[in-house]
Chain A
Amino acid sequence: MPSPPPVNRDAVLVSREPLDGPYVLLTFRHAEVARSSRAGQFVMIKAGLSAEPPLRRPFSILSVDPAADTFRLFLKTIGPGTHALAALAPGDLAQCLGPLGRPFTAPPAGYEALLVAGGYGIAPFHLFSEELRRAGGRARVFYGGRSAADLQVREPFARMGVPLVPTTDDGSLGHHGRVTEAVEQYLDTRPGPVALYACGPDPMLHAVARLAARRGLPAQVSLDPWMGCGVGTCLGCVVWMQSASEPRPHYRCACTEGPVFDAREVVWPGEESSRARVEAAAASTEAR
């Protein structure tokens, strides 16, 4: 089913719930995003029309309430874009385009979906857990962060009855160590068929991709490169890809052809020898 086109409109901030530390939940009214978003899709949003910050920011859609025409974002305030959004008061307007991008694809029937999140990478898995549950599927969340304070979105999964395994670098909550270690431990218990889904920092996504390749598991990763437009025109967010159907490495827009990609098709940093080979071949062709 093709997704409906994204809609650009002013989105009023309905509510603002500060969480611990730099985290905040923002609820906006935007009927089309609320009604047609799928898990893994995102919005491009900015507070106001001023020249600062220059660009909108992409955020995964955390959850939707179609009855209220609202959707919710989970933000970590880091730079000027997130701070400007977090400073909005209820009733203020943001400029919002969405829903954008390709969503996660549910695993085949009988598979358990292992949702691997790093920090604010938890955002798309709220909606994905709901979708999987509605379809009768099973999900399990592995949620990693530096410390307990970075694992702010746990309650919705408890409410949905989705098991959640927290991991922290400092051992302040759950498994003391990397989130991929907890995933490995679970896989060692020989569960039934599983599919991996990951959203978080690039090194974590790369680790999940390696894990999936090593164990022969299907894996989808949600990438988060710098994005300018969200609709495939600035070509700023491109990802170097290579696949069996298209063996020549090529750029794909994370905004329109992602942000969710098959982990096997991403050419990860440090694995760029294929690009170097292609460029060398192109140079020798030119020289002739």
Chain B
Amino acid sequence: MTDAVAAAPRLAVEVGGLRLKNPLLAASGTFGYGVEYAGILDLSSLGGLVSKGLYLAPRDGCATPRIVETPSGLLNAIGLQGVGVRAFVEKVLPALRAYDTAVLVNVCGDTVEEYAEVTRIVDQAEGVAGVEINISCPNVKKGGMAFGGDPRMTHEVVSAVRKATRLPVIPKLSPNVADIAVFARASEEAGADAVSCINTLLGLVIDVEARRPRLAFGTGGLSGPAIRPVAVRMAWQAARAVKIPVIGIGGIASASDALEFLIAGCRAVQIGTANFVDPGVYDRVRAGLEDYLRRHGLDDINRVVGTLRYPGLPVAEELGG
């Protein structure tokens, strides 16, 4: 065994200008504003965290019930309840600066102008590493999916956010489209530094006794292990469609789950619903990634990225990828 392999394998990655100590980020909407977990796990052990979606103003969100379990999944319609970007910048961000982790802000808007304005506020704040654009929330009546379901609107929003900041800009793409590659390319053309995929899948759970939806909002967004195969497929499609890096999201709860996305071509991943189930998930996944690299004689997680051996396709590395 060589020294390089005997040493702890390197987990650091670079994603569209973001330098992360490891490829694990906490997904927006599943980690609050980060500070909620500060006493429970070591925030500095994360590659990064993405804030709950933020608009200019605070929002109440949807009526209750807001969550319901599904087979190996969770259907939610929270509706982007939040404190508003200014309260986040003034009250939360100072506390997050104490941690050695990349803080990304998930930016929302009812209009293109609001996305840009929220981004300008974030851009001026100290301690923000990047901007994730929420164009894929299925649980709001305006904005959200309206921007993520039309490639021209996606281009327009990403361009506006791009002009509002020099921070890395990362649209979070919706799976509720026919061809995610179209949206990945629209994002790339509009100046995005990376794309995250996927957000939740639009779903509906019915209470058959009452013949009503289980969620007060009606439909909701499906997350958790139930959606992982769909998410891996879409992240893989996006990664093949664009040159900018892809951040994979969807049902990751173990190192093996994370590796599926990395092998499919993602440079980093976000952990979402699993945060609710096990705050110890980052330690487990990180240890599992190191173990995998050792078992495969690799010294760097980047050597796993895009190495899918797909029937009829050469391995990405052989293409010089």
Per-residue interface assignment for chain B, residues 56 to 83, with 1 indicating a CB less than 8 Å from any chain A CB and 0 otherwise: 0000110111111111111010100100
| Number of inter-chain CB pairs below 8 Å | 93
Is B307 located at the chain interface by the 8 A CB criterion? no
Roughly how many angstroms separate A5 CA and B37 CA in the complex, as a whole number?
Answer: 10
* Residue among B61, B68, B69, B275 with max Cβ neighbours from chain A (10 Å): B69
Q: Which of A46-54, A66-74, A107-115 sits within the interface?
A: A46-54
A233 near B74 (CB under 8 angstroms)? no
Whether B66 and A233, one on each chain, are in contact in the complex, defined by CB atoms closer than 8 angstroms, is no
Q: Is the interface of B mostly helix, strand, loop or mixed?
A: loop
Q: Is the CB of A8 within 8 A of B225?
A: no
Is A226 close to B, CB under 8 A? yes
Q: Interface residues, chain A, CB within 8 Å of chain B?
A: 5-8, 46, 49, 51-56, 95, 97, 225-226, 228-229, 231-236, 238-240, 250-251, 256, 275
Which of B31, B60, B63, B254 is in CB contact (< 8 Å) with A233?
B31
A55→B276 contact, CB < 8 A = yes
User: What residues of A have a CB within 8 angstroms of the CB of B225 in the complex?
Assistant: 51, 54
Q: Is B279 in contact with A232, judged by CB distance below 8 angstroms?
A: no
Q: Decide: A236 near B278, CB < 8 A? Known: A55-B74, A231-B37.
A: no
Could you tell me if A55 and B30 are in contact, using CB atoms closer than 8 angstroms? no
Contact A233 B64, CB 8 Å, known A52-B72, A228-B74: no
B66 proximity list for chain A (CB < 8 A): 235-236, 238
CA A231 to CA B280, docked complex, whole Å: 14
Given the interface pairs A5-B40, A233-B37, A234-B76, the reply to whether A46 lies near B32 with Cβ below 8 Å is no
Bound complex: CA A95 to CA B278 (Å): 8
Bound together, the chains give a CA A250 to CA B275 distance in angstroms of: 25
* Of the residues B60, B67, B72, B254, contact of A234 by C-beta under 8 Å: B67
B253 within 8 A of A: yes
Return the chain B residue nearest A225 by Cβ: B64
A236 engages B40 (CB within 8 Å): no
What CA separation (Å) do A238 and B78 show in the bound complex?
Answer: 10
Is the beta-carbon distance between B224 and A51 smaller than 8 angstroms? Answer: yes
Kindly report which residue of chain B lies nearest to residue A275, judged by CB atoms: B63
Residue contact B81 to A235, C-beta cutoff 8 Å: yes
A144 to chain B, nearest CB (A): 24
B57 to chain A, nearest CB (A): 10
A236-B76 contact given A5-B39, A51-B225, A228-B276, CB 8 Å threshold: yes
- A-B contacts, 16 of them at CB < 8 A, read A6-B40, A49-B253, A49-B278, A52-B71, A54-B70, A54-B74, A231-B37, A231-B40, A232-B32, A233-B32, A234-B78, A235-B81, A236-B67, A236-B78, A239-B64, A256-B36
CB distance from B159 to the nearest CB of A (A): 26
Nearest 6 interchain pairs by C-beta: A5-B39, A236-B67, A233-B32, A51-B72, A229-B276, A51-B225
A54 engages B72 (CB within 8 Å): yes
Known: A5-B40, A233-B36, A235-B78. 10 other contacts (CB 8 A): A7-B40, A8-B279, A54-B72, A54-B74, A55-B276, A232-B36, A233-B30, A233-B37, A236-B78, A250-B60
Q: How far is the CB of A12 from chain B (nearest CB, A)?
A: 16
Known A-B contacts A53-B69, A54-B70, A235-B81; the reply to A229 vs B275 at CB < 8 A is yes
Given A236-B76, A238-B66, A238-B81 in contact, is the A55-B277 Cβ separation under 8 Å?
yes
A251 interface neighbour in B36, B52, B60, B278, Cβ under 8 Å: B60
Asked if A51 contacts B253 (CB within 8 A), the reply is: yes
Within 8 A of A (CB), among B70-114: 70-74, 76, 78, 81
A97 and B276 contacting across the interface, CB-CB below 8 Å: no
A90 to chain B, nearest CB (A): 23
Residues of B within 8 A of A239 (CB): 64
Closest Cβ neighbor of A97 among chain B residues: B279
A231 contacts across to B, CB distance below 8 A: 32, 36-37, 40, 279
